[in-house]
Amino acid sequence: MATEISIRKAVLIVATSKYANILLGMVFLAVLARLLTPEDFGVVAVVTVFTAFFRLISNLGMGPAIIQDKTLTNEEINHIFTFSVYVAIALVIVFSLLGFPIAWFYRNSEYIIICAILSLSLFFNVLNTVPNALLRKEGRFLLLGVRLIVVSIATYGITIALALMQFNHYALVIQSVLSAFFIFLWNLKSVKVCLRLKTDFLAVKKIKEYSGYQFWFNFINYFARNLDKLIIGRVWGVTPLAQYDKAYRFMLFPVQNLTFVLSSVLHPVLSKNQDNLEYIYNKYLRIVKILSLVGVFITAFCFWSSQEIIMLVFGSQWYEAVEYFRWLSLSIWAQMVASSAGAIYQSTGNTKLMFRSGLVHISISILAIIVGVMSDNLSILAACVSIGFIFKFFIEYFFLIKKGFKKKLTTFLYGFIPDAVVFSVLFTGLFFFSRLMDTSNFTLFFLLVFKLIFAGILYFFCLLITDQWKYIKEIVRYRKV
């Protein structure tokens, strides 16, 4: 019972802070999208692909491993933290030097300076790995939530001021550095970790197997999610990349801020029952059902409201992102559901199986991206990327349900039939509603509101008819999931 209550409270705290941060982020991004040009965002988008890769390398899967291993002593954690410091120093040097080949590859010398500045962001993000894991392991979700909101307000405020002062894309670069630095300062006050002059690698080896497969999964998942942007920046240039990247990031909003809210809580909480697979499976079925029902609404609504959403939030200069967002949004449901599987792999200590699933997925993703690039059309590429994510859903659950839990995959998938019915009716209804509306008589805002009201009413009746409303009531009534 204690575990159930802790999940409920943790999800509420994390969700409240995360969604408050979403609203803040959307407001600030709407302002920045009007102060900076698509080219500014495109220049930074190129480099952030590489910083994400280096952060992935530096983590080495240590964060989830620290959460999972309940036998680690304070001294062993200090040695792991010391190891992360040495890794951070090495990566700062390497990433700064990487600016030269990046500048040559993209034919822009400014990338040399940008990489040097962003290496500081990389440095502090690496140092935050161990403290962040400890805070989650200890269940200090309220502190994490408050920290998220305070740091976001501070850094976005500074970024807007820099943009007004004509810092252009450097405003975005500095925001990344300040965010990591402020979190590091906060962690110093919140977590007791000590730097040792010499690292005891026995502590690192203790988590090596678990963290190793976690690292390799992160490694291949990185390429699955960023290969398209690397190619677009080289083939089409930074401005088309900025349009695509804006659509891609906005598509990820519901995935990152719904599924990842749960995932950040599920691993530290469910790992306490890592030997009770039946308990974890039954708990997961309830959670994945709610994610699915929420996901079908968001997917259908985003597809038929893509123009209103993008134009209202970012402005007319981002019009090209509308079409990319429309096609990418088709994968929101699949991503929202399948992205939750990672926390279950971690909770059961089966990161090896997660890695095997990732190998299959990246093969399909690469094939989908190649087909999209060969079409020489960014809209087709966006559609191909969506198809790759939809395939990931089936791949993920073949490994997790059939191989991990030893359950029948068909039985698991059968539970999504009502969800598919709800989606089909909602998608079709919004299609006809969008066609019948006289758009010339309404502003974008009112068009979006009318579509939202229509979709909400139709969605509600679909849930009642298919007897799926009982799952949504668990959210509304704040019952245990």
445-449 mean pLDDT:
88
DSSP code per residue over 126-138 = HHTHHHHHHHHHT
Q: Measuring CA to CA, how many Å separate 97 from each of 115, 367, 406? A: 8, 32, 48
Q: How far is CA 194 from the centre of its chain?
A: 30
Which of 15-19, 294-298, 317-321, 426-430 shows the lowest mean pLDDT across its residues?
15-19
Angle at 40 between CA 37 and CA 44, to 5 degrees: 150
Report the range out of 179-188, 254-263, 311-320, 432-441 with the highest average pLDDT.
Answer: 179-188
Report whether 190 contacts 146 (CB < 8 A). no
CA distance 76 to 79: 5
Q: What is the pLDDT, as a whole number, of residue 7? A: 59
Q: What is the pLDDT, as a whole number, of residue 322? A: 92
Which of 5-19, 144-158, 261-275, 366-380 shows the lowest mean pLDDT across its residues?
5-19
Specify burial of residue 417 (Cβ count, 10 A radius: 0-12, 13-18, 19+): exposed
Report whether 114 contacts 44 (CB < 8 A). yes
Q: What is the pLDDT, as a whole number, of residue 476? A: 52
Mean pLDDT of the chain: 83
Secondary structure, 3-state, 265-278? HHHHHHHHHCCCHH
Tokens, residue 217 = 């999964």
Which of 52-61, 322-331, 396-405, 406-415 shows the lowest mean pLDDT across its residues?
52-61
- The one-letter amino acid code at 356 reads R
What lies within 8 Å, CB to CB, of 273 at 6+ separation is 3, 279, 280, 347
Report whether 43 contacts 238 (CB < 8 A). yes
Whole-structure pTM value:
0.71
Tokens, residue 324 = 């990319």
61-83 mean pLDDT:
80
Tokens, residue 396 = 């993920």
Tokens, residue 332 = 């929101």
Q: Measuring CA to CA, how many Å separate 13 from each of 19, 42, 145, 151, 233? A: 10, 34, 7, 17, 38
CA distance 252 to 389: 12
**In which band, very low, low, confident or very high, does the pLDDT at 65 lie, cut at 50, 70 and 90?**
confident
- Say what percent of the chain tops pLDDT 70: 89
Which of 151-160, 211-220, 430-439 shows the lowest mean pLDDT across its residues?
211-220
**Residues 201-221: tens digit of each pLDDT:** 677 777 776 677 777 777 777
> Which residue, among 307, 298, 297, 396, has the nearest Cα to 354 in the 3D structure?
396
424-447 mean pLDDT:
85
CA distance 47 to 108: 12
What lies within 8 Å, CB to CB, of 319 at 6+ separation is 310, 311
Q: What is the pLDDT, as a whole number, of residue 217? A: 79
CA distance 416 to 422: 10
- The one-letter amino acid code at 378 reads L
Q: Which residue has the higher pLDDT, 314 or 333?
A: 333
What lies within 8 Å, CB to CB, of 214 at 6+ separation is 61, 64, 65, 346, 351, 354, 355
Q: What is the pLDDT, as a whole number, of residue 10? A: 67
CA distance between the termini of the chain: 12
Is the pLDDT score of 416 beyond 70? yes
274-302 mean pLDDT:
88
**In which band, very low, low, confident or very high, does the pLDDT at 475 lie, cut at 50, 70 and 90?**
low
Is the pLDDT score of 4 beyond 60? no
Is the pLDDT score of 481 beyond 50? no
Tokens, residue 100 = 């030269």
Domain ranges of the chain: 1-206, 213-481
Is the pLDDT score of 85 beyond 80? yes
- Say what percent of the chain tops pLDDT 90: 25
Q: What is the pLDDT, as a whole number, of residue 249? A: 83
**In which band, very low, low, confident or very high, does the pLDDT at 173 lie, cut at 50, 70 and 90?**
confident
67-86 mean pLDDT:
82
Q: Is 404 helix (H, G, I), strand (E, B) or coil?
A: helix
**Residues 338-352: tens digit of each pLDDT:** 888 888 888 887 888
CA distance 246 to 189: 35
Report whether 341 contacts 409 (CB < 8 A). no
Is the pLDDT score of 11 beyond 70? no
